[in-house]
Amino acid sequence: MKVNEDRTCPFVPNFLLGVAGGIQYLKLKKASKDPLNQQADTLRRILEYAKDSDYGKEHHFAEILASASPAELFAQYQANVKPSEYEDFRPYVEKMKNGKSDVLFQGRPLLYATTSGATGEPKWIPISEAYLNNIYGKMNKVWLFNFIKNRPKVYSGSIVSVVGKQIEGYTPDGTIYGSVSGFTQARCPGFVKKLYASPSEIFNIEDYTARNYAIMRMGIERNVTLCVAANPSTMVEMQNQVDKWYDEYVKDIENGTMSDKVTIPEDIRQAVRPYLKPNPERAAELRELKAKYGRVLPKHFWPNLQILTTWKCGNTQIYLKKLEGCYPEDMLHQEFAYFSSECRAGLVLDDTLDTVLFPHFHYYEFKEAEEFDNPDAPFIQLADLVPGKQYCPFVTTFSGLYRYNMNDIVEASAPKFGATPCIHMVQKVNGIVTITGEKLYEGQFIDAVEKAKKETGLNLNYYVGYANLEESRYDWYFEFEDSNVSQEQADEFGAKVDEILKNTNMEYKAKRDSFRLHDQKVFRLEQHSFTSFKAEIINASGQDASRFKPNVLSQKEQYHKVIEHYVIA
């Protein structure tokens, strides 16, 4: 079948996902009608699940469960369990990793999700059986079903889904750790697995370049109608792969091979081999596309793409701009939802940015964002969120995180889902950077760079800023589209960004004018620096490549040191 041919709605996946997902969708709708009482019920079920664990006994879960009303339950929970960061849970997790049961919840984790931590040590997020079954079982069915509601032909072709490595290694007690999305994709129903353009084994390729090569070599051959990648920077990288390897892809597709120019272990090549057959017709089609367009884009090689889902909130706009004009015009680009290793908080069900939360599977609390640093500020229940206001969420889950500070700023959205407020991501709390009290917001930095681009006519492939506390200045790193941009031009661009920030942030201006905040220093980056930077961080930390989302403005010293490797001398 030629890729530009249409297909009718696929009966089997639409029927099976319609039944399974439709049932869970109706349960979500029912749970969202009364968020106050539903949240009380959810908190009771979580505490009941963990009351006989070490943590549950230490924090009097049994006594909290004796509360007679939702208000008393919430008050007793707050009185006995303080708001927590990951480091508060690390001692418990270490016991679990070494084989102890009933520590944060009943039994032991099925696996651990690993992600970067504030101390430099990775976070090990335990995933319980209840959490996996509810969030990655029941609610995943809603997610897949919802694609059909938005685009009935979404399963008429193949799926490209970029996930992390499902097994990174094993804890001392033999429990696996790695990517939850990789773990669940490898274990998805057979009728869904048949739709994937490549086998899950390709995500075990260690070499980052080779992994991306394999994903797109297999993806570009097929009639892809659904593409899932949490971070839009992933799709920018994939297009970079197409630009670099296009002719090699065509040769591979024609011959039914996987290039030996990339390092792929033999066992993975064996797993991939059944997917590879000589396809001269598709190779000819791809050659025609290059002859016609020069640079071949997803709208050319995936003309029937129905849905692309990535993050669209927070600091992702610098990558989203690079995707403009690259995809079919009638495709739905759907927000990926408010989602992290610690908590998959909900789903986006339409073409908005609004995440529909799971009031029947997580217990949520919020602080007003402007009161985040005030220990006496009250916690707000989900039912009481006000549309348009910004909050910092704290979550309690079936995986042993209790009143866990997500360190995010979210905004309550309107309209509600049922009677339950929706939210969307604004930025990380640590996206607010301060050296000497200026409180520079990541969003302000992004806006200033975007305005400077318009005023100067200089375009960027990538940029990032770091607070240099020792020198009391900001270090700004710019990868210009034009590699011939001089250091003098780069400095002028940086001065323009500085000027815009002074007009945007009065505290920043005051600190700059008083010389408490010194002149910024501008560094030019090599071409494709983000790809190299990302690969180096991931290889060193072992975190999930598909979820790698560094701040565009940050105080992370270890990241600052890494980006320096890609500066033009």
Q: What is the pLDDT of residue 542?
A: 63
Assess whether pLDDT exceeds 50 at residue 275: yes
Assess whether pLDDT exceeds 80 at residue 543: no
CA atoms of 466 and 553, how far apart (whole Å)? 6
CA atoms of 243 and 515, how far apart (whole Å)? 46
Indicate the pLDDT class of residue 544, thresholds 50, 70 and 90: low
For residues 245 and 437, the model is more confident at 245
Provide the 10 A C-beta neighbour count for residue 569. 4
Q: What is the pLDDT of residue 5?
A: 47
Assess whether pLDDT exceeds 60 at residue 444: yes
User: Residues with Cβ < 8 Å from 355, sequence gap 6 or more?
Assistant: 335, 337, 338, 345, 346, 347, 348, 422, 423, 424, 425
Assess whether pLDDT exceeds 70 at residue 117: no
Q: What is the pLDDT of residue 165?
A: 83
Averaged pLDDT for residues 113-130? 80
Assess whether pLDDT exceeds 50 at residue 346: yes
Assess whether pLDDT exceeds 80 at residue 556: no
Q: What is the pLDDT of residue 372?
A: 85
Q: What is the pLDDT of residue 545?
A: 63
Averaged pLDDT for residues 489-499? 97
Q: What is the pLDDT of residue 555?
A: 78
Q: By the 8 A CB rule, do 96 and 105 touch?
A: no
What phi, psi does 204 have (nearest 5°)?
-90, 0
Q: What is the pLDDT of residue 178?
A: 87
Averaged pLDDT for residues 300-313? 96
Q: Is the CA virtual torsion 98, 99, 100, 106 positive or negative?
A: positive
Strand 408-417 to 420-428 pairing: antiparallel
Q: What is the pLDDT of residue 1?
A: 39
Q: Which helix (H) or strand (E) holds 388?
A: none
Assess whether pLDDT exceeds 90 at residue 559: no
CA atoms of 537 and 516, how far apart (whole Å)? 32
Assess whether pLDDT exceeds 80 at residue 7: no
Judging by beta carbons within 10 Å of its beta carbon (0-12, 13-18, 19+), is residue 221 exposed, middle or buried? Answer: buried
Assess whether pLDDT exceeds 50 at residue 250: yes
Indicate the pLDDT class of residue 358, thresholds 50, 70 and 90: very high
Averaged pLDDT for residues 234-261? 94
Judging by beta carbons within 10 Å of its beta carbon (0-12, 13-18, 19+), is residue 374 exposed, middle or buried? Answer: exposed
Q: Which helix (H) or strand (E) holds 348?
A: none
Residue type, 329: E
Residue type, 180: V
Assess whether pLDDT exceeds 50 at residue 6: no
Buried b or exposed e, range 258-295, using 16+ CB within 10 angstroms = bbeebebeeebbebbeebbeebeebbebbeebeeeeee
**Lookup: tokens for 163:** 């996930």
For residues 254 and 10, the model is more confident at 254
Q: What is the pLDDT of residue 118?
A: 53
Q: Is the CA virtual torsion 194, 333, 166, 409 positive or negative?
A: negative
Q: Which of 423, 224, 214 is nearest to 309 (CA)?
A: 224
Percent with pLDDT over 90 in the chain: 71
Strand 332-335 to 169-170 pairing: unpaired
Assess whether pLDDT exceeds 60 at residue 120: no
CA atoms of 495 and 297, how far apart (whole Å)? 35
User: Residues with Cβ < 8 Å from 370, sequence gap 6 or more?
Assistant: 390
Q: By the 8 A CB rule, do 106 and 77 touch?
A: no
**Lookup: tokens for 51:** 């009351």
For residues 525 and 120, the model is more confident at 525
The model's pTM: 0.83
Q: Which of 51, 34, 39, 40 is nearest to 73 (CA)?
A: 40
Per domain, the residue ranges of the chain are: 32-127+346-429, 153-335, 434-566
Assess whether pLDDT exceeds 90 at residue 494: yes
Helical spans, DSSP H, in 81-138: 86-97, 129-133
Indicate the pLDDT class of residue 560, thresholds 50, 70 and 90: confident
For residues 140 and 206, the model is more confident at 140
Averaged pLDDT for residues 497-510? 90
Assess whether pLDDT exceeds 70 at residue 116: no
Helical spans, DSSP H, in 350-486: 442-456
Q: By the 8 A CB rule, do 311 and 549 touch?
A: yes
Q: Which residues are paired to 112 by β-bridges?
A: 126, 177
Please give the mean pLDDT across all residues of the chain.
91
CA atoms of 442 and 428, how far apart (whole Å)? 9
pLDDT digits (tens, 9 = 90+) for 22-55: 999 999 999 999 999 999 999 999 999 999 999 9
For residues 491 and 541, the model is more confident at 491
Averaged pLDDT for residues 141-168? 93
Report the SS3 class of residue 245: helix
Report the SS3 class of residue 417: strand
CA-to-CA dists, residue 406 to 90, 163, 250, 425, angstroms: 16, 22, 44, 11
